[in-house]
Amino acid sequence: MTINIREATNQDWKAIWPIFYEIVSAGETYGFATGTSKEQAEKIWLEAPRKTFVCEDDKQILGTYYLKTNQAGPGSHVCNCGYMVSSNARGKGLATSMCEHSQQIAIGLGYKAMQFNFVASSNEGAVRLWSKLGFDTVGRLPKAFKHPIKGYVDAMVMFKWLAISKSLAS
């Protein structure tokens, strides 16, 4: 598999939507309403973020991620990302590639850190991957995520410094 990660265009939404719908409608990993409409999803995933990317193999979109500023003002040096991989492409390293790519993009945009605000503890694959890629669990919200099968599970806040400025190093 030869993957290519590139910035998404408006024309990519047609291929991103089925991935978004599949994941969000399952209600197992994201804090979006399971009934999020196609129009709402496009605003959430393609229009509101600072940048959105797609991960493709042979021009077929298999995954996507967004990158946005996590907080305004004094927190604007921290970004947030969300990643989605189509079910037929999981286990092939796409999430790893997208997360590594997003960290490089974030550094290029001047971010110093990346934070995942609401990682369902039941999403064991993501928790394991983010930990492997250097993210620390810095907070745990007891029973904050309502999983459709497992019921109330913890949500985690995960964080990683991407670059240390001279002022932070001293």
Asked if 141 and 155 count as a contact pair (C-beta separation under 8 A), the reply is yes
Asked if 89 and 98 count as a contact pair (C-beta separation under 8 A), the reply is no
pTM, rounded to two decimals: 0.92
Query: In the predicted model, is pLDDT for residue 170 greater than 80?
Result: no
**pLDDT score recorded for residue 2:** 87
- Provide the CATH number for the domain formed by 3-169 in this structure: 3.40.630.30
User: What is the distance between the alpha carbons of residues 140 and 119, in angstroms, rounded to a whole number?
Assistant: 9
pLDDT tens digits for 24-78?
999 999 999 999 999 999 999 999 999 999 999 988 999 999 999 999 999 999 9
User: What is the distance between the alpha carbons of residues 139 and 14, in angstroms, rounded to a whole number?
Assistant: 36
Domain ranges of the chain: 3-169
User: What is the distance between the alpha carbons of residues 127 and 25, in angstroms, rounded to a whole number?
Assistant: 21
